[in-house]
Each structure stands twice: as C-alpha cells, then as structure tokens.
Amino acid sequence: MFADDTTVFLKSTDSYNAMTKILETWCKASRAKFNVPKTIVIPIGPRESRNRLRESRTLEGGEERIPPEVKILEEGEGTRILGAWLGPSYDETAPWGQIAQTIERNLSRWMKRRPTLKGKRTVLSIEVGSRTQYLAKVQGMPKQVEDRLEKAMTGFLWGTRMSAVTRDITERRQEEGGLKILNIRARNEAVDLMWLRSYLDLSPSRP
C-alpha cells in the first residue's frame, strides 16, 4: 500500500519536528518510507510571512529549522497536489500550456484522417472535453485558455479560423439543427456551479 501526495497543513505555531516525528512513527508501523528529499513546503499567508519563512527556514516563534534538503517554494513556483498545481503567486495559466499544446497537436493529427463533421464532434469531445475536465474542476480554466481552445476547436471543425456556421448553432442539439459541439465555457460554468453547490451544502453530508 502506497500513500502518494501526503499533504500536511501547519499553523505558524506548530512544530515542524513534531510533524516529522509523527510521520516517522507512522512509517515504522506501516513499513513505509517517507521520502524526505521530495518534501516540498508551500508558504501561504501574507507575502511578508512567506519571505520570512524562506529566509529563516523556521515557523514563527520556533527555533526548529526546516532541513536544507527540503525545498521551500519561491514566489511563482508551483507543485502538483492531487492533479492541481499550487504555489505562492503561482500563474494559474501555467499548467494549461502543455495541455493546450497536446490538444492542438492531436487535433492536427486527426485532421489528416479527414473525419466527417460527426467524427470531428466525437474527437472534440475526447480531446478537448475529456482532456481538460479534471484540471478544470480542481483548478478552474482561465479565460485566455478558453479562448485558445475555442480557436483550436473552430480551426479543427472548419479548417479555418472562421466558422462556416455560428458557434451558437453548432452547439445546439441535433434535433434543433446543430451538431451538439462541446461548449467549453458552459461546461466550465457548470463546474463552478457544482463547486458553489458543494460549498453551500450545510447538511451532514457536506464534503
């Protein structure tokens, strides 16, 4: 049994050494091994507090220094936690660059097969819809990424940057004369609404 991406939140008054001792005890009991060199500290809070943590490598009021082999993220750096990229002042568009490039490259390859409009609809659902769904849910999709993906979808669908048919029509159901092409913005808005619904859920089942 392996534990990946173990995340621990420490307050400014907590003890880093106490946390590591708890983990060491758990490792002995479970026969697991905690990979200290891969440990990453994400400074949170005001910038002043983040800078102080990097300079002193200690929590506020503590004398216990964070080991030198443990990386403390600098401003603008990020690390991946359960699929989401987090970090102090991290650029929210950064993790989307590679995904967008992969989608554009794959769509270009699909174009060589000369798919029909129905085939293109399926490809867009797989390449754009499925490939972006998880990250859009855990991190959200910036508007500039939405714009980039919409341009890629239009180019793939019509072979040009200009749509032969308005986007509104292509996104309609087939019964209404459309192609039921993925509406990436509407999908992202639905994701945001699901997050809001969970946040406002005050029942015992609230996550």
Rg, Å, the chain Cα set: 23
B/e letters for 127-139, b = 16+ CB within 10 Å, e = fewer, are: bbeebbeebbbee
Q: What is the mean pLDDT of residues 53-73?
A: 88
Band (pLDDT 50/70/90 cuts) for residue 4 is low
Q: Residue 1: its pLDDT value, please? A: 44
User: Residue 66 class from Cβ within 10 Å (0-12 exposed, 13-18 middle, 19+ buried)?
Assistant: buried
pTM of the model: 0.80
Structure tokens given for 155: 């180019």
Within the chain, strands assigned E span 40-41, 71-72, 79-81, 84-86
Q: What is the mean pLDDT of residues 186-202?
A: 91
Q: Residue 6: its pLDDT value, please? A: 82
Calculate the average pLDDT of the chain: 89
- The residue assigned the tokens 């990020």 is 78
Question: How many CB atoms neighbour CB 98 within 10 A?
Answer: 9
Q: Residue 3: its pLDDT value, please? A: 54
Band (pLDDT 50/70/90 cuts) for residue 160 is confident
**Interhelix angle 96-111/143-158, nearest 10 degrees:** 0
